[in-house]
Amino acid sequence: MSAVHSPLQARIVQWMVAPGDLVAAGDLLLILDAMKMEHEVRATVAGQVAELFFAADEAVEAGALLTRLHTGVTDASARAPAPAPAPAAGSAAAPLRPDLQRVRDRQARTTDASRPEAMAKRHALGLRSARENIADLCDEASFTEYGALAVAAQRSRRSEDDLIANTPADGMVTGIGRINGALFGAEASRAVVLAYDATVLAGTQGLRNHQKTDRMLGIALQNKLPVVLFAEGGGGRPGDTDMPIVAGLHVATFASYARLSGQVPVIGIAAGRCFAGNAALLGCSDLIIATRGSNIGMGGPAMVEGGGLGVFTPEQIGPSGVQHANGVIDVLVDDEVQAVAVARHYLSFFQGALQAWLAPDAAALRDGVPDNRLRVYDTGAVLQGVADSGSLLLLRTGFGAGIHTALARIEGRPVGMLASNPQHLGGAIDADAADKAARFMQLCNSHGLPIVSFVDTPGFMVGPEMEAQAQVRHVSRLFVVAAALRVPFFSVVLRKAYGLGAMAMTGGGFHSPMFTVAWPTAEFGAMGLEGAVKLGYRKELEAAPAGPERDALYQRLVASQYEKGSAIQMAATLEIDAVIDPAETRDWLARGLLSARVRPDAGTRFVDPW
């Protein structure tokens, strides 16, 4: 005889057996109810049911004797044959449970395939859907979507079916995926991805997609995950009615997005029209990638017209040519395919070092600077000659032409690169170039990337026109930002290194970097050699007869100054650390990167001069 006891205090809902029934081990005997939850009591041995000590609906205490089973009974002929087991739920032989089927059906209505007309219109514009961009950005099958079942907060004015059909995900696809996982592993490659869906209410910002955005930004900050934002859309949405608010200016999205600055890499991508609130988020990004067909503005046509400022088409507001030239756009691309490729490339610099790389031809650097010391040349080619092949990513190429800024790798290790540009103002540093370089140094410093500076500058740009542009404040940013750097800084003087501008390009002075080395073509001075001769030897020059004799004296004096300010003389007086063969530049930098350390972030504060 085997006793069956109640496993808990409960109420008997239903007996599934009667006295005399034969049961096998595992058969259901009765169902109990406790705290509105049903609990099954099953036989632990085979046998015949004896008496039942409680009836249905009676209460029992934990441990109460419910029934007994006669275990000696072996005649199974009285027991009806058990039915064949039903196919497992979800198997090919069985339909899905109704609750799961409802979920599957609902999920299917969030996909691009459920909206063929909207997709056709999108593709006719030469643009991709939000989900297509995410699929291209993230490693295959790695994206986990959050909030897919959301719809616009407009139930008071639209039917549920209408909202599901026309406002999937409330116009904002959000989640976490892997980017570059094959290179850096599953953990290092995780990123939060947000994509406004321009096919849903013009990609506007509604109540639900603000909530989704805030949720994901909180996850990004808490877990230190990079963020990629596809920002196309028209800003705030006036049509959401299911909320008891007036202006909605209390939303946390913009502060939450801005709070990520300096904490994690933040990438914004714009294709098509990006106005108002969407543009505000885009503008808070570390990097802005935009297509040539994009328009970016803090106010779209409706806002401009509403402010009494005239009537304009979307294409007249913030076209890419304007926004690239003024520095809003960091990388200008042809289409979304290129935009996603650039985003993956940029993000890789913050995901770690690579163990495999391809070195460029080091000997080619020996011809990087012309023999003629007055001839302009492309320092961008020097960057290509130093960086690992295929790694260089130039930033903000349309703005601040006096200084190149780029991310690259040297023997697999990511670095930031600055380079004077002699093709613009002879390499002199103007306000735009200073702003560009100062911000770039802050970017590298925030994310722990060492900086390499290639110097060929006659100094800061001067003159009445320059001073009218607040030159004093702009160029001083280079000194203040450099003084707060926690990352290693290396300087390579290619040719001219004159005055305060050269000091600014070397992190504040020639002894500020981890090392300052020069190519044999380098020349140094407190100011440009020609200007120094004209000012310092004015009397001697005026005393010489005008014409060939004065010209010859001038050339001799310049040559003398050039010899005194040569790289060898600078190294001999220990004002720089070495003169190197240009072909050894990568080796010097690779060894320097192994020796230097990124210091802990001490929360250094400074007041930006501008």
* pLDDT score, position 81: 46
Q: Please provide the average confidence, as pLDDT, over all residues in the chain.
A: 92
| pLDDT value at residue 95 | 85
- Give, for 296, the enclosing helix (H) or strand (E): strand 295-297
pLDDT of 76 above 60: no
pLDDT, one tens digit per residue, over 303-335 is: 888 888 999 999 999 999 999 999 999 999 999
Q: What is the pLDDT of residues 294-303, one digit of tens each?
A: 999 999 888 8
> How far is 178 from 193, CA to CA, in rounded Å?
10
The pLDDT of residue 343 is above 50: yes
Confidence band of 153 (pLDDT split at 50, 70, 90): confident
Largest Cα span, the chain: 135
Does 145 have pLDDT greater than 80?
yes
The pLDDT of residue 82 is above 60: no
Residue 505: burial class (beta carbons within 10 Å; 0-12, 13-18, 19+): buried
pLDDT band at 118 (very low <50, low <70, confident <90, very high): very high
**Domain topology for 102-348:** 2-enoyl-CoA Hydratase; Chain A, domain 1 (3.90.226)
Give the pLDDT confidence score for residue 75 in this predicted structure: 58
Same fold for the pair 2-78 and 102-348 = no
CATH of span 2-78: 2.40.50.100
**pLDDT at res. 78:** 45
pLDDT at 247 exceeding the cut of 80 = no
Name the pTM for this structure. Answer: 0.87
**pLDDT tens-digit readout, 170-216:** 999 999 999 999 999 999 999 999 999 999 989 998 888 989 999 99
In this prediction, residue 85 carries a pLDDT of 56
520 pLDDT more than 80: yes
Tokens (6 digits) for 403:
């200084």
Query: What pLDDT, on the 0 to 100 scale, is given for residue 88?
Result: 58
pLDDT at 74: 59
Q: Is 164:152 a contact under the CB 8 Å cutoff?
A: no
Nearest-angstrom CA–CA distance, 111 and 169 = 10
% pLDDT > 90, the chain: 77
Select from 202, 144, 139, 142 the least CA-distant residue to 172. 202
- Report how far residue 142's alpha carbon sits from residue 128's, in angstroms, rounded to the nearest whole number: 19
Extract the tokens encoding 364: 């080619």
Confidence of residue 77 (pLDDT cuts 50, 70, 90): very low
Q: Looking at 77-91, 400-414, 472-486, 542-556, which range is the least confident one? A: 77-91
Q: What b/e string do you get for 280-297 counting C-beta neighbours within 10 Å, with b at 16 or more?
A: bbbbbbbbbbbbebbbbb
The DSSP symbol for 99 reads: H
Instruction: Give the per-residue SS3 of 554-606.
Output: HHHHHHHHHHHCEHHHHHHCCCCCEECCHHHHHHHHHHHHHHCCCCCCCCCCC
Burial of 190 (0-12, 13-18, 19+ CB in 10 A): buried
Q: How far apart are CA 388 and CA 160, in angstroms?
A: 55
Q: What is the DSSP string of 117-161?
A: HHHHHHHHTT---HHHHHHHHSPTT--EEESTT---S-TTTS-HH
How would you class 401 by CB atoms within 10 Å of its CB: exposed for 0-12, middle for 13-18, buried for 19 or more? middle
pLDDT > 70 fraction of the chain, expressed in percent and rounded: 96
Per-residue pLDDT band at 506 (split at 50, 70, 90): very high
More confident residue, 572 or 75: 572
Radius of gyration of the chain (CA): 36
pLDDT at 92: 59
So what's the pLDDT on residue 268?
98
The strand pairing partners of 175, in sequence order, are 145, 193
Instruction: Calculate mean pLDDT across residues 215-241.
Output: 92
Per residue in 484-502, pLDDT (tens digit) is: 999 999 999 999 999 999 9
CATH top class, domain 362-522+566-595: alpha beta
Q: What is the pLDDT of residue 113?
A: 94
Mean pLDDT computed over 256-265: 94
Other C-beta atoms closer than 10 Å to the C-beta of 108 total 10
Measure the CA–CA gap between 276 and 233, rounded to whole angstroms: 8
Domain residue ranges of the chain, discontinuous segments joined by +: 2-78, 102-348, 362-522+566-595, 527-564
Tokens standing for residue 380:
């961008």
Q: What is the arithmetic mean of pLDDT over 421-436?
A: 96
pLDDT winner (highest mean) among 158-162, 457-461, 547-551: 457-461
Res 12: pLDDT: 96
